[in-house]
């Protein structure tokens, strides 16, 4: 289904934003409500459900925190995220140096955390049951951990040398956090440990760094501005301004050396890319200029580029229930990419078409297992 993703002429997302869209998030409880954060500070909440039952419909905005709202962010919203366990709360962070915790029903902030510098990224663990920590990456090299229970920034992780552009909790272990910085480094932390850092990822897997004058592991030869775990948490995908994407074993820290070719990335802030789940094989969706590049994660193959936006794409989010993709761009639009249902195949060509499909394992259905696995 992912391979047949196409811009859907029948599906529209109501246009509310008057500026570029930096961040999207779909709540994991029902997969129904989507948040968007704009470069003018505006936040919009959409209902993706099709009540009309007609093929042609528009995803309506349920509510928004617009420019006239007393608590609207003063500057660009860089990250929005739903509270992972229910839709009654969501979070947003901004270049106005704040992280806000919102009550969905009242659209009032339940709490506001203030920082010394602009906030590039924040993330709540999708699996945590024993803590309520929000990891926050700011202009400071120190990673901040904000505790929603106590309302304080309880913890600081020190080790990066420059601003922290991207943070992501492991979906497998609730205390493991990955961070990426403008210093070219990706660090994995166990936030229970005083010393903190477990591994600093090394693109050379320990070989070149022995002879390098600096003697410090780097994940990229440029700013690291995007991180995303695979859904099972076994691998971590990183992007950097060296125009490279790298896949890492998240338990050993080993660079798997998958070659994705040149992945153009000039973003001075965080790049919000995403990974499919429930597919076989899994795909990465990476904003690439005004397109979204789709890669097979473990082979590195560039499958396609999704074209439809008129300007730079800044974010995308995957909806696993229907295997749909939503993307936000500087053109102020949110586009829905829906698997196109295949036309029925005429009888005389059906055998030929099916055999051609099976040449590429990516065309197999999500539930089919390939013979050479294991």
Asked if the model's pLDDT at residue 358 lies above 60, the reply is no
* pLDDT given at position 275: 97
Calculate the alpha carbon distances from 66 to 69, 91, 96 in Å: 5, 16, 15
pLDDT digits (tens, 9 = 90+) for 8-23: 878 899 999 999 999 9
pLDDT at 355: 38
- DSSP letters, 173-231, are -TTEEEEEETTS-EEEEETTSSS-EEEE--TTTTSGGGT-SS----S-SS-EEEEEE-T
Coil/strand/helix, residue 139: coil
Question: Among residues of the chain, what percentage have pLDDT more than 90?
Answer: 77
The whole-number pLDDT of residue 208 equals 65
* Residue 140 DSSP symbol: S
Alpha-carbon span 362 to 279, nearest angstrom: 9
Q: Which residues contact 45 (CB under 8 A, 6 or more apart)?
A: 33, 34, 35, 61, 62, 63, 64, 90, 104
Residue 7: which pLDDT band, with cuts at 50, 70 and 90? confident
Distance CA 59, CA 127 (A): 28
pLDDT value for 352: 38
The pLDDT tens digits of the residues spanning 121-167 come to 999 999 999 999 999 999 999 999 999 999 998 799 999 999 999 99
- b/e code 192-220 from CB counts within 10 Å (16+ = b): eeeebbebbbbbeeeeebeeeeeeebbbb
Burial of 8 (0-12, 13-18, 19+ CB in 10 A): middle
The mean pLDDT value for 74-82 works out to 98
Does the structure show a pLDDT above 90 at 202? yes
Nearest to 32 by CA among 319, 301, 297: 319
Strands of the 334-339 sheet, one edge to the other: 5-7, 334-339, 324-329, 313-319
33-38/89-94 β-pairing:
unpaired
Model confidence at 221: pLDDT above 70: yes
pLDDT at 373: 42
Instruction: Place 341 in a pLDDT band, splitting at 50, 70 and 90.
Output: low
The pLDDT value given to residue 104: 98
Residues whose CB is less than 8 angstroms from the CB of residue 113 and which lie 6 or more positions away in sequence, other chains included: 98, 99, 100, 101, 134, 136, 146, 153
Query: What is d(CA 186, CA 178) in angstroms, rounded to the nearest whole number?
Result: 7
Rounded to a whole number of angstroms, the CA Rg of the chain reads 21
pLDDT over 90 at 199, yes or no: yes
For residue 306, list its beta bridge partners. 292
Asked: is 2-363 a CATH 3.40.50.720 domain? The reply is no
| Digit-coded pLDDT (tens) for 306-333 | 999 999 999 999 999 989 999 999 999 9
231 pLDDT above the threshold of 80:
yes
Alpha carbon 145 to its chain's center: 19
Residue 299 corresponds to which tokens in the numbers above?
């082979």
How confident is the prediction for the chain on average, in pLDDT?
A: 89
Residue 121 has phi, psi (to 5 degrees) of -160, 145
Q: Which residues contact residue 233 at a Cβ distance below 8 angstroms, ignoring those fewer than 6 apart?
A: 170, 171, 172, 173, 250
Read off the pLDDT of residues 97-134 as tens digits, 9 standing for 90 and up. 999 999 999 999 999 999 999 999 999 999 999 999 99
Of 66, 47, 68, the residue nearest 58 (C-alpha) = 47
- pLDDT tens, position by position, 261-311: 999 998 888 999 999 998 888 999 999 999 999 999 999 999 999 999 999
Q: How confident is the model at residue 203 (pLDDT cuts 50, 70, 90)?
A: very high
Least confident of 52-56, 145-149, 216-220: 52-56
Query: Residue 280: its pLDDT value, please?
Result: 84
Question: Is the model's pLDDT at 340 over the cut of 80?
Answer: no
Q: Tell me phi and psi for residue 355, to 5 degrees.
A: -65, -35
Domain boundaries, the chain: 2-363
Take residue 163 and report the two structure tokens written for it: 């601003």
């Amino acid at each position: 289904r992912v391979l047949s993703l196409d811009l859907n002429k029948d599906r529209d997302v109501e246009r509310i934003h008057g500026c570029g869209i930096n961040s999207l998030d779909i709540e994991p409880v029902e997969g129904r409500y989507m948040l968007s954060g704009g470069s003018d500070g505006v936040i919009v909440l959409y209902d993706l459900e099709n009540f009309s039952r007609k093929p042609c419909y528009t995803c309506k905005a349920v509510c928004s925190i617009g420019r006239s709202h007393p608590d609207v962010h003063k500057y660009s919203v860089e990250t929005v995220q739903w509270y992972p366990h229910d839709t009654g709360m969501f979070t947003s962070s901004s270049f106005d140096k704040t992280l806000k915790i919102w009550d969905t029903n009242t659209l009032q902030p339940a709490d506001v955390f203030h920082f010394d510098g602009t906030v590039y990224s924040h993330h709540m663990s999708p699996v945590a049951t024993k803590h309520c920590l929000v990891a926050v990456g700011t202009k400071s090299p120190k990673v901040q951990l904000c505790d929603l229970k106590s309302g304080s920034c309880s913890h600081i992780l020190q080790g990066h040398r420059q601003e922290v552009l991207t943070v992501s909790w492991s979906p497998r272990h609730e205390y493991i956090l990955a961070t990426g910085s403008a210093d070219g480094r990706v660090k994995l932390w166990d936030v229970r440990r005083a010393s903190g850092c477990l591994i600093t990822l090394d693109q050379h897997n320990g070989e070149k760094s022995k002879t390098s004058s600096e003697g410090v592991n780097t994940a990229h030869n440029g700013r690291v501005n995007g991180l995303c775990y695979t859904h099972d948490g076994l691998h971590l995908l990183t992007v950097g301004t060296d125009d490279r994407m790298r896949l890492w074993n998240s338990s050993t820290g080993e660079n798997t050396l998958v070659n994705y070719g040149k992945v153009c990335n000039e973003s001075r802030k965080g790049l919000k890319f995403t990974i499919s789940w429930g597919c076989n094989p899994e795909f990465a969706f990476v904003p690439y200029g005004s397109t979204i590049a789709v890669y097979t994660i473990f082979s590195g193959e560039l499958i396609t580029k999704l074209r439809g936006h008129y300007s730079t794409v800044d974010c995308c989010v995957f909806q696993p229930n229907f295997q749909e993709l939503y993307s936000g761009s500087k053109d102020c639009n949110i586009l829905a990419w829906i698997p196109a249902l295949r036309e029925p195949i005429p009888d005389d060509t059906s055998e030929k078409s099916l055999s051609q499909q099976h040449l590429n394992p990516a065309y197999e259905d999500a539930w089919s297992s390939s013979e050479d696995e294991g």
